[in-house]
Amino acid sequence: MEDDKIPLAGHLEELRKRIIYSLIAIAVGFLASYGFSEQIYALIALPIKPFLTDGNAFIFTGLTEAFFTYFKLSIFSGIILSTPVIIYQIWCFIAPGLYKKEKSYALPFVFLSTFFFLGGVAFCYFVVFPIACKFFAEFASDYIQMKLSIKDYLSFTCKFLLAFGIIFELPVFVLFLAKLGIVNDTLLRKNRKIVILVVFVIAAFLTPPDMVSQVLMAIPLIFLYELSIIIAKIFGKKKIAEKTEEEESNTEDENIDS
pLDDT tens per residue, range 30-65: 999 988 888 888 888 888 887 776 656 777 888 888
44/82 Cα distance (integer angstroms): 18
Total domain count, the chain: 2
Which of 167, 194, 212 is where one domain is finished?
Answer: 167
249/241 Cα distance (integer angstroms): 12
Does residue 219 share a domain with residue 159?
no
Confidence tier at 3 by pLDDT (50, 70, 90): very low
Contacts of 141 (CB under 8 A, 6+ apart): none
Does residue 44 share a domain with residue 25?
yes
Does residue 188 share a domain with residue 66?
no
Does residue 191 share a domain with residue 137?
no
pLDDT tens track for 147-180: 788 888 888 888 888 888 888 888 888 887 777 7
Does residue 149 share a domain with residue 52?
yes
- Residue in 153, 166, 228, 163 with CA at minimum distance from that of residue 195: 228
Which of 151, 167, 183 is where one domain is finished?
Answer: 167
Over range 77-96, report the average pLDDT. Answer: 87
pLDDT tens track for 206-244: 666 667 777 877 888 888 888 888 887 877 655 444 444
42/62 Cα distance (integer angstroms): 20
Does residue 86 share a domain with residue 45?
yes
Domain that holds residue 25: 1-167
Contacts of 153 (CB under 8 A, 6+ apart): 45, 48, 58
How far is CA 10 from its chain centroid? Answer: 27
According to the model, what pLDDT value does residue 71 have? 92
Does residue 12 share a domain with residue 38?
yes
> pTM here?
0.74
With contact defined as beta carbons under 8 Å apart, do 51 and 159 qualify?
A: no
Does residue 173 share a domain with residue 162?
no
Q: Which amino acid is at 73?
A: L
